[in-house]
Amino acid sequence: MKQCLINDFKKLYNEKTHLLYFSPGRVNLIGEHIDYNGGFVMPAAISYGTYGAVSLREDNNVYVYSKGFSKEVVSFSLNKLSEKDLDNSWINYIKGVFYLMKDAGYKINKGINLLITSTMPTSAGLSSSSSLELLIIYILNDLFNLKLSKVEMAKLGKKVENDYIGVNSGIMDQFAIANSKKDYAMILNTETLDFEYVPIELKDEQLIIVNTNKKRGLTDSKYNERFNECRKALSLLQNKYNIKNLASLSVNDLEDIKKYLNNETLYKRVKHVITEQNRTILSGKALKANDLETFGKLMNESHISLRDDYDVTGIELDTLFLESIKQNVIGARMTGAGFGGCLIALVKNDKVNDYISNVKKAYLSKIGYEPSFYKVEPSSGTSKY
């Protein structure tokens, strides 16, 4: 990959002097749709991600070529950052970083030449957008010596997603991508941003991400609908409970909440948040004890809750889940926002080939096209490459 980046950059911009960077994607092992509800999540960066080669310019122009999206080099001026690009929507994740960093007062007075390429599937729930955001933030922090901490980088990435792109996402994706550690997941408190690393000791097991290959974008999905349902439920419950967020409630509160809300849909959303919060805490304890069997059961329960109570799975993800269970995996669940995207499965090494073959065949038969499989390892966060 490194030599390809070097050769492609020289060919594109006729420059030998440049710097290389890598920003991983992330998988959330458990704790889905919790980050905007103020609770604990358990993400890990993965070995697939976004690579960038960059050089500093002497003018105010930014030139970008994406091997995945571009037919030609796309450019914009540092003087016109508020205007979104309607023809190349992917460039807005880059433009948004420049806009909000300059708006926050960071001195960015020169443009760049940039080549980006990714080994991640887009719109698959592995946070390719946050990977790109953190790549650009890290690059600008490095080039202009801005001295941002990794936490500040994560907060800035979230602001780009919320304020410039228009998705009401939490901070989990950006935080995990900025702060992850190789061979570890993290338990992150999305309310306080306190976190701890949890070892993932896989000796006879393999984490496999299965992409449904159903395309979906967060802004086009029901993501914001779920966000708003949770906000509505929180507003109603704050009349009864002294809480800042839904994840502050416990499973012992569920019976009273059902009576108080008197709304089946909102109750089911709250039920998922509360029980998923509990599963995340128990998963942390299981991984610390290297109890993968318990962790696998909690993964399965998480998917069922996301299917039955949060209603964010769909036939593609549910087919992958049910076929995974038939293959006697240690555990499986949808990961990411849902509505398509990916499933993550924990599979015994000696069962991997059969798992891939059998799930692929069953999925093709039911859905009409094949899923894609990625063997992943917990990775470090965004860095120079």
Residues with catalytic function: 173
Tokens of 128: 């390719």
User: In what helix (H) or strand (E) does residue 351 lie, and over which residues does it extend?
Assistant: none
Residues in the chain: 385
- Structure tokens belonging to residue 299: 């993964």
Q: Could you give the CA distance from residue 269 to residue 194 in angstroms, rounded to a whole number?
A: 25
Using CA atoms, how far apart are residues 202 and 241, in angstroms rounded to an integer? 41
HSE-up of 226 (CA within 13 Å, CB side)?
A: 29
CB 9 within 8 A of CB 24: no
Contact 131, 25 (CB under 8 A): yes
Instruction: Specify the 3-state DSSP secondary structure of 33.
Output: coil
- Under DSSP, is residue 68 helix (H, G, I), strand (E, B) or coil? coil
Q: Give the contacts of 123 (CB within 8 A, at least 6 positions apart).
A: 215, 216, 217, 340, 341
Q: Which residues contact 129 (CB under 8 A, 6 or more apart)?
A: 93, 161, 165, 218
User: Pairing mode, if any, of strands 40-56 and 112-118?
Assistant: antiparallel
Instruction: Give the pair of three-digit tokens for residue 267.
Output: 């109750």
CA distances from 275 to 30, 33, 245, 271, 306 (A): 11, 12, 14, 6, 10
Amino acid identity, position 18:
H
Other Cβ atoms less than 10 A from the Cβ of 262: the count is 9
Nearest alpha-carbon partner for 182 in 39, 383, 347: 383
Residue 162 C-beta-side C-alpha neighbours within 13 Å = 15
| C-alpha pair distances (Å), 267 with each of 152, 228, 233, 256, 275 | 35, 14, 8, 11, 12
Q: CA angle, 334 as apex, 331 and 337 as ends, to 5°?
A: 155
